[in-house]
Structure 1
Amino acid sequence: MLKGALVALVTPFRDGKVDEDTLRELVEFHIANGTNGIVPCGTTGESATLSHDEHRMVIRSVVEQVAKRVPVVAGTGSNNTAEAIELTLFAKGVGADAALLIAPYYNKPTQEGLYRHFEAIAKATKFPLVPYNIMGRTAVNIEPATMARIAELPEVVAVKEASGNLGQMAEIVNLCGDKMALLSGDDGLLLPVLAIGGVGVVSVVNNIVPRQVVDIIEAWNAGDIALSQQRFHKLLPLCKAMFLETNPIPIKAAMAMVGRIPSDEMRLPMCPIGAAAREKLSAALRAHGLL
């Protein structure tokens, strides 16, 4: 169900509020450019600073605008299992296709606690789930053996892996490959992840160049490895530029620079990109022909 180039969608703000009109325009931009799935309210969508009402509004608006043209994987994770269940049931109720669930952050649960967290959500929601492993944000790593247990839950359909550890990802494919799909959580590892058996990416850079991310995967799937490599290496400098500062600061700045969103407004404690990083980002956009 989930494969190809999925976008980790930004949440546009205007004067401190979610800019719903621009949000819906972004959905249409992605549909027109071949994006294979929309992922609202993830890390890139600044879910950590959305109120519960805003979180629900963003999910509902994206689901309505997509209108079943591509899958919507709604970010519904929390470090509170009960809250994650509540948000996932909401996403299910408004018609999302799956839920993206970050490993519980700050609590630092054990591997057993991680398993029980996803097990409880699966049992309570009976909805397609995508665990999201990113130790750099959560301080906990979902180890391959634990992921294998999680993959036995029938509701779990894919994993977004952003550990940056290809060895770990390969082990997950070996242990779970026939039970759930592997999606890269890092644009810069898209091609290596495809090579070890992954089927796609939840992408940040897709916010500005969706067709180019799709084209890398389509060339790979067609068996034209050389073309896929060529396209990947061309995109790689831009991927790196998206992490000059903490995501989503650079991608929002880039989208504003190319006119994709009206402004790069962030919410504290996130702040606009610094002058030195902005200069490097502008240079990367110019080199890629976007400015």
Structure 2
Amino acid sequence: MTRNAHVALVTCFHEDETVNYAATRAQVRRQLAAGNDLMVCGTNGDFSALTHDEKIRLVGEVMEEVAGRAKVIANVGCPATFETLQLARAVDGMGLHGIAVIAPYFISCTQDGLIRHFSTVADAVTTPVYLYDIPARTQNHIEPATVGTLARHGNIAGIKDSGGSTDTVRAYLDVARDVEGFEVYCAPDHLVLWGLEEGCAGVVSGLGNVAPGLLAQIIAGFNAGDMEAARAAQENFAGLRKDLYALGFPPALVKRALYLNDPSVGLSRQPALLPDAAQDAQILAILTARGLKE
């Protein structure tokens, strides 16, 4: 099957920290030009810093800009099932390819609690639901056995793995082999090509905000059977990740690197990363060395 890449789109802000929808739409167009699909309200989209109403409007603005030219997945996950349901229902019917539901955060969950949480959301909408596992941020891990149970729900279409464990991805892929139509999306940017080779349906990338063309080259090379080109692009992409993420919190560094090429994206909402001249110089050096300074 043809694989694809969803870029976890950044959310752009004005100087007063209100959402800059026009600048966000410009980022949508940039990703479409590279041939990438999108994820909105994800980790790199500052979803945890957005209000309920902002998330709904943001999904609507992105869908209007995309106008059917790409697949869009929107994350609606909140700590409680109650608000997650409200968001899921609000974006259901907007034409999304999928609704992603990040595992609850702050609230510690049992695996049974996770099954109830995801099943309740999937029961309430017609848009296919994608589980979203990122235990380093949520402290709740969706175990492979739990995924096996949820995969048999008629409206749960797949899982986005952001845990970075190759063993976990392989266990999720075992579920996909047992349940027809269930998809696994691999998220860590150093594992893009590895995930495709293992059988993932695609990837969800935060770093693709900074290097959309490079991400697209990995996907295009793989789909065309040009593994030499895919590996060369992956090596460059993984090197960018290693250099950039060594400087701090990855989503904030992605946003800052993008800002240094295009100030219209604005800063992250506080208390995230503030401008730092020395760090900016390091980021610029990384971008320049990899031919990404615009």
Whether TM-score is above 0.5 comes out as: yes
Instruction: Quote how far apart the aligned CAs of 1:222 are.
Output: 2.1
In structure 2, distance between residues paired with 1:72 and 1:10? 14
Pair 1:257–1:219, CA change in 2 (3 A): same
Residue 41 (str. 1) matches residue 41 (str. 2): yes
Aligned-residue Cα RMSD (Å) equals 1.8
Query: Which letter maps to 1:125?
Result: V
Instruction: Quote how far apart the aligned CAs of 1:93 are.
Output: 3.1
Alignment correspondent of 2:52 = 52
Alignment correspondent of 1:125 = 125
The answer (yes or no) to whether the contact 1:92–1:98 under 8 Å persists in 2 is no
In structure 1, distance between residues paired with 2:49 and 2:95? 23
Pair 1:290–1:196, CA change in 2 (3 A): same
> Where does 1:73-84 land on structure 2 (aligned, <5 Å)?
73-84=73-84
Alignment correspondent of 1:249 = 252
Alignment correspondent of 2:173 = 173
Structure 1, 103-112 or 234-243: larger mean CA deviation: 234-243
Instruction: Quote how far apart the aligned CAs of 1:3 are.
Output: 4.4
In structure 1, distance between residues paired with 2:289 and 2:235? 13
State the secondary structure of the residue aligned to 1:79. Answer: coil
Residue 191 (str. 1) matches residue 202 (str. 2): no
Structure 1, 165-174 or 219-228: larger mean CA deviation: 219-228
Residue 280 (str. 1) matches residue 292 (str. 2): no
Instruction: Quote how far apart the aligned CAs of 1:126 are.
Output: 2.8
State the secondary structure of the residue aligned to 1:78. Answer: coil
1:103-123 Cα offsets, whole Å, 9 max, x none, are: 011111011111111111111
Percent sequence identity over aligned pairs: 32
Q: When the two structures are superposed, what TM-score results if normalisation uses the length of structure 1?
A: 0.94
Query: Which letter maps to 1:107?
Result: I
Structure 1, 162-171 or 270-279: larger mean CA deviation: 270-279
Q: Unaligned 5+ residue runs, structure 1?
A: none
1:157-182 Cα offsets, whole Å, 9 max, x none, are: 22110111101111111122333111
State the secondary structure of the residue aligned to 2:93. Answer: helix
The answer (yes or no) to whether the contact 1:249–1:273 under 8 Å persists in 2 is no
In structure 2, distance between residues paired with 1:2 and 1:69? 17
In structure 2, distance between residues paired with 1:139 and 1:275? 33
Pair 1:2–1:253, CA change in 2 (3 A): farther
Alignment correspondent of 2:72 = 72
Q: Unaligned 5+ residue runs, structure 2?
A: none
In structure 2, distance between residues paired with 1:174 and 1:192? 16
In structure 2, distance between residues paired with 1:271 and 1:254? 12
> Where does 1:82-161 land on structure 2 (aligned, <5 Å)?
82-161=82-161
Query: Which letter maps to 1:18?
Result: V
In structure 1, distance between residues paired with 2:243 and 2:131? 26
The answer (yes or no) to whether the contact 1:151–1:179 under 8 Å persists in 2 is no
Query: Which letter maps to 1:5?
Result: A
Pair 1:89–1:274, CA change in 2 (3 A): same
In structure 2, distance between residues paired with 1:235 and 1:263? 22
> Where does 1:201-240 land on structure 2 (aligned, <5 Å)?
201-240=203-242
Pair 1:199–1:273, CA change in 2 (3 A): farther
In structure 1, distance between residues paired with 2:145 and 2:197? 21
In structure 2, distance between residues paired with 1:2 and 1:113? 35
Query: Which letter maps to 1:251?
Result: V
The answer (yes or no) to whether the contact 1:76–1:87 under 8 Å persists in 2 is yes
